[in-house]
Every structure is written in structure tokens, then in C-alpha cells.
Amino acid sequence: MLKRLRSYLLRYSKRYGKRLVNPGFVAQTSLTLLFENHFTLGRILLEFADKVSGFTEEDLRDCFWWAWSPLFWPTIVGLGNVTTWDILIQNGHSAKDLRETWGAAGLDLLTSLLMTEAMGTPPGWRKGLRDTPLVQRFLAIRELIKRMRDCLGADAFDVTRAVDSPSDPLWGLRSIHDLWAYPEQLADDRLDALQVAFDHLADYRAPAEEKFARLSQLERFVAIGQDSSAEAKDLADSLASEGLGDALDLFLQARVPIKPQIGNADYCPRCFVRLPGVQLRNLRAGGLVLCDNCRQVLIYWRPGIPKVVV
Ligand SMILES: [Zn+2]
């Protein structure tokens, strides 16, 4: 019985995702109904993830991608590049109207909860270096959040703000269980924890981006001629103490911008000359290299976003 329900939910989410990019379906459905249906589906998915042992985290992720990404980024599930949002705008809805209906349906909070449940905690850079597919999954979710915020506004998924509205259907949320209980007392610490978990997804950095983040900050101080400021000195000290002294020395000798090489590219992002194999291997292993050809850029590697995630 549970097995049948599981495969039904997977099939339903996929079919629903396909309908969301079908202009005929979107035109026939009222906006309120569309977003309310999303809310209901999200609740069912969370309930399943919480209570049904055969419904795995991967199932939850697949259902999430199928049902949510068509709204803002259908390409990532292989459904073309016209979003439900585009179709709704073409049908005469204003962006303001869409944002308000989305907010009133409680989708800021529900989506944050669903995403953090489905995606879990991003790996730190050392673990990420050993698991590129995992890194790519988190790069995809970061990109989805960016696209959602481009449509919904920069303050979308500010969980505290979402709950400030007394009419919010998730008023009183403390945990997934509370989605169905609606207790009167609001537990701020649980909301704060949800916000932190969501921000980890939104602000995720690929391994070398995270590893060399302080070096990139130092680069900005050098670029504006403040390399002897107290902040720059602190950054240099912390890089040395984190075991990144070699990368720091390389930067201080070269004093050139730091740029990513992305995905399967094998050339310098500045002069476009192909890098030698030994440098490419160093980059893939999380190193920082100076282009031998132009000597005008320090390069690190960032995996590309996958073409599809399901
Ligand atoms: Zn170059």
C-alpha cells in the first residue's frame, strides 16, 4: 500500500510539473488555486518524508524538483525554458499580483521547509572536493533560489517576515509536525534554525570558492590599494593559520585577480589558452594556479551546474 502511494506521489509530482509549463493548463487554472495546490502538495510531501520509511530523501528531492522548478527554472528538469511564471505574466498577471498570491498561500515558509528537508546540509569544502555530484546538486539549488528571488523579490524566503503575517497559514510553526497542529506559541528558535539552514543553501559555495574565500576578500583590498590595512593583515594571518600559506604567497607574488574556471573548461578564463594537464589536475584537486601563458590571473575550479537533476 505504502509502496503504491510512494510511486503515485512520484508520478503525480512529475505529471504536475509537466502541466505547469503547459500554457493551456495554466490559463484554465486560477492563480490562487495553483499556489494553494502547491502548498497542499508540499505538505503531503513533508508528511510522507516524515512518516513513511519507504519514501526516501531522494524521493522527496525528486518530487520537489519536478513540482517546484517548472515555476522558475524548468530547464533543470528537462522541460524547456518557458517558466510557469513567464506564462502567468503573459496571461496578464502582474509580478506584484503573483508575489502577493504566493505569499498569501504560505509558500515562502513551506518552500523553505521543503527545500531544507529535501536537500539537507551542504558539505564543507574538504568533503565537497571528494564528491563533485554532491557539490553540483547544491550549486543547482543555489541557482534555483537565485531564480526564485529574481521573480519573488530579494526578501523572499525571509522566514521571520513570512510569519509576521497573522493570516499566514503556517503561523505557529515549530517543526514539520506543527504544520498540521498549528500551536499558538511561536518558537522563534526553530524558525531561526530554519532560516540558518535555508541561508546555507542560498549562500552555498563550491569547495574552492569556500576554500579561497578569504583570499578573494584580500584580493579586493589589494585592488583598492588597502593591502596594508588592518583587515587585510587579519585576512593574511588567518590564511596562513588555515594552512593556505602557499596560496597566499602565490597571490602576494602575482597580485593578479582570482577567477574561476567552470565545469569542463580546460582553458584560462582570461587568455583562453589551454592549460597544461598538470595544472588542470591541480585545479580539479582544489588547487590555485597562475596561468603560465598570460600570468594575469590566478585560477581555481568550480564544477558546472548539471544539465538536469532528475
Ligand atoms: Zn591566461
pLDDT per position as a tens digit, 281-308: 999 999 999 999 999 999 999 999 999 9
Mean pLDDT of 155-179: 57
Cβ-contact 269, 299 below 8 angstroms: yes
Mean pLDDT of 188-193: 74
Within a domain: 269: yes
Q: 171 with 248, same domain?
A: no
Task: Choose the final residue of a domain: 204, 233, 256.
Answer: 204
CA of 147 to the centre of ligand 1 (A): 31
CA of 299 to the centre of ligand 1 (A): 9
Task: Choose the final residue of a domain: 148, 169, 204.
Answer: 204
CA of 279 to the centre of ligand 1 (A): 12
Query: In angstroms, rounded to a whole number, what is the distance separating the alpha carbons of residues 309 and 81?
Result: 15
Could you tell me the pLDDT band of residue 188, with boundaries at 50, 70 and 90?
A: low
Q: Which residues surround ligand 1, an ion (CB under 5 A)?
A: 268, 270-271, 291, 293-294
CA of 182 to the centre of ligand 1 (A): 58
Q: 118 with 251, same domain?
A: no
CA of 172 to the centre of ligand 1 (A): 55
Q: 45 with 79, same domain?
A: yes
pTM: 0.90
CA 85, chain centre distance (Å): 19
Count up the domains in the chain and report the number. 2
Within a domain: 112: yes
CA of 40 to the centre of ligand 1 (A): 52
Within a domain: 121: yes
Q: 175 with 46, same domain?
A: yes
Q: Among 13-27, 42-56, 204-218, whose mean pLDDT is lowest?
A: 42-56
- 183 pLDDT more than 70: no
CA of 214 to the centre of ligand 1 (A): 23
Q: 280 with 268, same domain?
A: yes
Domain that includes residue 254, residue range: 208-302
Is 298 exposed, middle or buried (CB count within 10 Å of its CB: 0-12, 13-18, 19+)? buried
Q: 276 is written with which cell numbers?
A: 597544461
Query: In angstroms, rounded to a whole number, what is the distance separating the alpha carbons of residues 200 and 136?
Result: 15
Q: 181 with 222, same domain?
A: no
Q: 234 with 150, same domain?
A: no
- 101 pLDDT more than 90: yes
Q: 76 is written with which cell numbers?
A: 533543470
Q: 103 with 244, same domain?
A: no
- 161 pLDDT more than 70: no
- 185 pLDDT more than 50: no
pLDDT value of position 91? 96
Within a domain: 227: yes
CA of 265 to the centre of ligand 1 (A): 13
Mean pLDDT of 185-195: 70
Task: Choose the final residue of a domain: 204, 224, 255.
Answer: 204
pLDDT value of position 184? 40
Q: 280 with 193, same domain?
A: no
Within a domain: 71: yes
Query: In angstroms, rounded to a whole number, what is the distance separating the alpha carbons of residues 281 and 193?
Result: 38
CA of 285 to the centre of ligand 1 (A): 19
With the CA atoms of 140, 141, 144 and 148 taken in that order, what torsion angle do they form, in degrees rounded to the nearest 10? -170
Q: Cell 588555515 belongs to which residue?
A: 242
Within a domain: 309: no
Q: 157 with 36, same domain?
A: yes
Q: Among 33-47, 51-65, 116-130, 176-190, whose mean pLDDT is lowest?
A: 176-190
DSSP-based three-state secondary structure for 124: coil
Pairing between β-strand 258-262 and β-strand 298-302 as defined by DSSP bridges:
parallel
Mean pLDDT of 169-193: 53
Within a domain: 310: no
